[in-house]
Structure 1
Amino acid sequence: MALEKGKIVVLEERVPKLKERRRQKANRRLIAYIFFFFLLILCMIYFQSPLSYVHHIQVTGNRHLSEDQVIQLSGITKRTSFWKVKEEEVQRDIEKHPEVKSVTLEKYFPNAITIHVKERRRIAYIYDGQTFFPLLENGYILKKRTSKTAPSDAPILINWKKGEDIQEIAGQLAQLSPSILNAISEIHYTPNDDNRYHITVYMNDGFEVSANVQNFADKMSLYPSIVQQLDPNVKGVIHLEVSNYFTAYKQPKKEDDNG
C-alpha cells in the first residue's frame, strides 16, 4: 500500500511539469503561426505593390547597340513584375535583332536585372553610294545601320556589287583572327579576264596584297610571317594568289641635280 502511495506522489509531481511543457509547445506553435501569417501578409503586399517591379536594368557586352535599344528589345519596363521576367522569353526577343548573337540574363533579388549581350562582329563595311553598310560575320548586311563617315573598326569593301560575292568574302573574313582583320584597311573587288575572284587589299601598314576571294583566309594567315621578312621601309605588293612573293613599288627617278 505504501508503494502505491509512492507512485501516486511521483505522478502528481510530474503533472505540473507536463502542463508547463504543453503550454510552452503551444506558445511556440502560436508564435510560428503568427510569424507565417505576417510573412504571408508581407508577401501579398510585396507582390501587389510597386516594390515587386523591376527597378534597375543593366546591360553589358553591348558595343554598337545602345543600352536603351537592348532594354527596349527585352520588353522589360519599370512596370514589369520582377517575378514575371522569363529568361527564355527575354533571350528570344533580344536575339531577334540581327546584330545580337546571344543573350544571358541574371536576376538579383529584390528587383535588379542584368542583361549580358554578345554582338555579332562587324567584319567589314560595304561602301556604296557614299554610304557605309555594316557587314556582320554571318553575312548579314545592316541596311538600316549606315554611316556617311568611314568607320575604322573593320575593313571597307569597295566595288562589291553581287550578293554572292559579298557572302563569299564575308565567310573568308569571319575566319580571320581579329589582329589580321584589324590590319586591313580596304578590300577592292578587282576581277579580270583571267580571274573573276581577284581582290586587291590595302593594309594599314602600307603594304598591298593581291589575292583571291576563295582562299583569302588561309593565305592571309601567312601575312604576319611574310611581313616580318620584309623591309618595312620598302613598300610594295605581296602576291598571295598561287605562289607567295613580293614585288616592291617602282621608285620615282631622281632628277639630275645638274639638269
Structure 2
Amino acid sequence: MEKGKVVVLEERVPKLKQRRKQKANRRLTIYIAFFFILILCIIYFQSPLSNIKHIEVKGNKHIPAKQLIEFSGLTSRTSFWKVKAEQVERHISAHPEVEKVHLEKQFPNTVVIHVKERRRIAYIYDKQTFFPLLENGRILVKNAPKTAPSDAPILVNWKEGEDIQEIAGQLAKLPSYILSAISEIHHTPSDHDRYHITVYMNDGFEVSANVQNFAKKMVLYPSIVKQLNPNVKGVIHLEVSNYFKAYESETKGDDNEKGER
C-alpha cells in the first residue's frame, strides 16, 4: 500500500507543476492585459479622444442653439468626463428666456442640452420693433424682431411700467389656445376707465375689456363667439356685463345687442 502511494504521488508531480505553470501564465497574461488597459485609459483621458464631439440642444424654439451652447461654456476642447451637469445647468439658467434646463451625457462623447423656454405672451410694438414680453413680465430688448411675429399678440400704445406688468400678469393666466387667437391689444384708457383696452382677434371680432379682469373674462370668449353669426362682425364687450354689438348696428345707430349677462 505504501509503495502504491509513492507511485501515485510521483505520477502527480509533473501534473502539479504543469498546472502551477499554467496558473502563473494566466496571472501574467492578466497583469499584462491590465497594464495595457491602464496605459490605454491614460492615453484616452489625456488625449482629445475624450473630448466632447457632439453638443445637441432640444426643446428650444426662440433661443438659437448656438447661443445656449455659448452659455453652457462647453466646447470641443472640454473633456467629456470633466463635464459637471449642475454647473452647466446653472450657466444656461442665467439666460433670461430659459425656465428649466437638464443636461444629459451620452457615452462616449455626446452632450444633450434639454431646455424649456419661458413663454412669450406678447410683443410690445415700439419704434418699428417688436420686443418680446415673457410670462414673468420681463421684456427682451436684445435681438428683437423687426417683422410682426405670429406666435403671440402684439401690444400697441403701451409704455414700459406698471400697466405692462398688469397686462403681462393677465396674459400669463390665459391658455395657449386663447392667447394665439389674439392679434393685437391696444392700450386705450379713458377718463372713466384708465384700465380700458381694445383687443383685435384673429377671427375678425373686436373685444372691449378691462386689464384688471381680462384673463377671467377672456376665458368666456370661445363660448360667446359660438353664439354669434361668424359673418356679422362687431365688438364683444367684456367690461362689466358681457354683450355683443355689431359694426352694422353701430353705423345705423341701432342698439341691437346680444350676449350673456
Alpha-carbon separation, structure 2, partners of 1:52 and 1:253: 75
Look up the equivalent residue of 2:123 and give its one-letter code: Y
Map of 2:222 onto structure 1: 224
Secondary structure of the residue aligned to 2:173 is: coil
Provide closer, same or farther for how the CA distance between residues 253 and 204 of structure 1 changes in structure 2, counting only shifts above 3 A: closer
In 1, Cα distance between the equivalents of 2:187 and 2:143? 23
**Amino acid paired to 1:40:** L
Separation in structure 2 between the aligned mates of residue 29 and residue 253 of structure 1, nearest angstrom: 101
**108 and 31 in structure 1: CA distance in 2 versus 1, 3 angstrom threshold:** same
Residues 97-153 of structure 1 show CA distances to partners (whole Å, capped at 9, x for unaligned) of 101111111222221211112111111001122221110111110011322222211
Partner residue of 1:249? 247
In structure 2, the partner of 1:215 is 213
Question: Is 211-220 or 15-24 further displaced after alignment?
Answer: 15-24
- Write the deviation string for residues 137-173 of structure 1: whole angstroms up to 9, x where unpaired: 1111001132222221110111211411111111111
* One-letter amino acid of the structure 2 residue matched with residue 167 of structure 1: Q
Letter of the 1:155 partner, please give it. P
Helix, strand or coil at the partner of 2:248: coil
Deviation at 1:215, TM superposition (A): 1.7
Once residues 211 and 15 of structure 2 are traced to their aligned partners in structure 1, the CA distance between those partners, rounded to angstroms, is 94
Residue identity matched to 1:50: P
CA distance in 2 between counterparts of 1:160 and 1:35 reads 73
**Which 4+ residue blocks in structure 1 deviate beyond 3 angstroms?**
251-254
Q: Which runs of 5+ in 2 are unaligned?
A: 253-261
* Match 1:149 to one of 147, 150, 172: 147
Q: Give me the TM-score of the superposition, normalised by structure 1.
A: 0.92
77-86 vs 4-13, greater mean Cα deviation: 4-13
**2:57 aligned residue:** 59
Q: Distance in 1 between matches of 2:143 and 2:137?
A: 15
Superposition map of 1:6-21 within 5 A:
6-21=4-19
The 3-state SS of whatever aligns with 1:104 is strand
Quote the RMSD (CA, aligned, Å): 1.7
Paired AA for residue 176 in structure 1: L
Structure-2 residue corresponding to 1:112: 110
Gap runs ≥5 in structure 1 = 255-259
Q: State the match for 1:257 in structure 2.
A: none
2:258 alignment counterpart: none
Q: Secondary structure at the match of 1:30?
A: helix
Give the letter for the 1:106 counterpart: E
1:134–1:145 contact (8 Å) kept in structure 2: no
CA shift in 2, pair 1:205/1:218, >3 Å: same
SS at match of 2:200: strand
Q: Number of residues paired by the alignment?
A: 252
Identity within the alignment, % = 75
Deviation, 1:71, is 1.1
Residues in 2 aligned to 1:253 and 1:199: alpha-carbon distance in whole angstroms: 21
Q: What is the CA–CA distance in structure 1 between the aligned matches of 2:36 and 2:118, rounded to whole Å?
A: 50
**1:197, CA displacement in angstroms?**
1.6
Q: TM-score, normalised by structure 2?
A: 0.91
